[in-house]
Structure formats: structure tokens, C-alpha cells
């Protein structure tokens, strides 16, 4: 499934209103009402903690630990801090949100940022379809480097006709037939239906 945009949308450099922030129709995630309520509470209490957040009161990161570690692994000492953002040698910028919070609030935000109970979940069919499409369109090293192949294994989608999980239990037939004295066998065991 390809995403198409009209010329007006392509020319736009930034949204003009919140209404312009349309959900992507191929987004393979959804969120339960309970998780959405928890996420709403987190956003109200902590704001956006999805990127790199640093607490000036403690001098520690609240969020972005793994992002920063990945950037350091890729770029080492060539990372710079410019105008409130980490900048790579290639010009990529990663803004840093600076807060002034007591340690307890910072710890609560750090835990909330990764709390699976207030996060969305993948829609299995949607993520399987999207990963399958991406496996055909992305360069193989990128597809595997992002572990999308592992995600596709986790969400394989519907099996092809005739292929099923060997542990699946088949549906019983509409009209099952048995006869008194019939024998059923399974893995070396036999059951015999006695006559009444």
C-alpha cells in the first residue's frame, strides 16, 4: 500500500493547524482507552518525554539514554552540543529538552516514558502487512538493521492457504460421524467406542 499526497500537502513545509496533523492510514499501532488515559496523565504531568530530556537540577538524563548511547556509538567524540541540540557531523540535530524537576518527579517521568501499560500496541495484521511491504522496498541491510525481520517473525500475519501452525486444533466438522465399535488412533494410542 503506497501513501500518496496531493501537491498542496507536498509543498507544505510545516502544518498550519493541529487539524493538519492527520494520522497515517498505515500506522500499525493502536492504543486501548485505559492506556490512552495513562498516556494522557503522563503528557499532562511531564509534557513530551519521548526524545532526550535532561534535568538541570540533578544533572542527569531523564529520557534518551539509549538514543544518546546509540549516537555516541556511531559518532564518538565528533558529536557537538549546539543551540540546545546534539548535532552529528552530518548535521542531524537531536533537540534536548531541559527541565528543572525534583528527583522524585524525574524518576517518575523516566519510568513513565517506558511504561508499556500506557503505550500503544501493534495491530498484528497491520504490522505484518507493513513489514512484509517494507521487506520488498527497503534495502536489506536497513530492513535487518532495524530488526524489522524480527518484528515480522513476531507478527507473521495470516498463514498462506493450506499452511497452518502444527499446534492449531482444527474445527470439528459440522456433521461428525462415528460408529459403535469404531477405533480412533493417535500416536500409538487407540481408543475404542463401546456399544451401549
| Residue 59 Ramachandran class (φ > 0 left, ψ -120 to 50 alpha, else beta) | left
Q: How far apart are the first and last CA of the chain?
A: 60
What pLDDT, in 10s, does the model give residues 38-77?
888 888 888 888 899 999 999 999 999 999 999 999 999 9
Question: Tens digits of per-residue pLDDT, 62-116?
Answer: 999 999 999 999 999 999 999 999 999 999 999 999 999 999 999 999 999 989 9
The Cα-based distances of 113 to 48, 56, 110, 183 in angstroms read: 9, 18, 5, 59
Nearest to 92 by CA among 75, 104, 106, 76: 75
Question: Are the beta carbons of 37 and 83 closer than 8 angstroms?
Answer: no
Q: How many helices and strands in the chain, by DSSP H and E?
A: 7, 9
- The residue with greater pLDDT, 19 or 78, is 78
pLDDT tens sequence across 122-181: 999 999 999 999 999 999 999 989 999 999 999 887 765 666 666 777 777 777 666 666
Q: Quick one: cell of 113?
A: 516514558
Q: How far apart are CA 17 and CA 118, in angstroms?
A: 26
Spell out the domain ranges in the chain.
25-121, 123-154
pLDDT number for residue 54: 94
pLDDT of 56 reads 93
Report pLDDT for 48: 86
Instruction: Count how many residues are written for the chain.
Output: 196
Question: Residue 174: its pLDDT value, please?
Answer: 78
pLDDT exceeds cutoff 70 at 8: no
Q: What is the pTM of this model?
A: 0.66
The pLDDT assigned to 12 comes to 55
Per-residue pLDDT at 2 exceeds 50: no
d(CA 46, CA 113): 9
Amino acid at each position: 500500500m503506497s501513501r500518496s499526497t496531493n501537491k498542496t500537502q507536498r509543498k507544505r513545509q510545516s502544518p498550519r493547524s493541529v487539524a493538519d496533523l492527520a494520522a497515517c492510514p498505515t500506522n500499525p499501532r493502536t492504543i486501548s482507552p485505559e492506556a490512552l488515559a495513562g498516556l494522557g496523565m503522563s503528557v499532562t504531568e511531564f509534557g513530551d518525554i519521548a526524545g532526550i530530556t535532561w534535568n538541570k537540577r540533578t544533572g542527569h538524563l531523564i529520557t534518551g539514554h539509549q538514543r544518546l548511547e546509540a549516537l555516541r556509538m556511531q559518532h564518538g567524540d565528533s558529536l557537538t552540543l549546539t543551540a540546545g541540540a546534539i548535532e552529528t557531523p552530518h548535521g542531524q540535530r537531536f533537540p534536548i529538552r531541559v527541565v528543572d524537576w525534583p528527583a522524585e518527579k524525574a524518576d517518575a517521568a523516566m519510568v513513565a516514558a517506558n511504561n508499556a501499560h500506557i503505550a500503544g500496541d501493534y495491530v498484528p495484521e497491520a504490522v505484518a502487512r507493513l513489514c512484509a511491504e517494507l521487506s520488498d522496498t527497503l534495502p536489506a541491510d536497513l530492513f535487518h538493521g532495524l530488526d524489522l525481520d524480527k518484528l515480522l517473525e513476531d507478527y507473521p500475519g495470516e498463514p498462506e492457504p493450506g499452511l497452518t501452525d502444527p499446534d492449531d486444533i482444527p474445527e470439528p466438522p459440522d456433521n461428525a460421524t462415528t460408529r459403535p465399535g469404531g477405533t480412533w488412533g493417535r500416536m500409538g494410542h487407540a481408543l475404542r467406542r463401546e456399544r451401549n
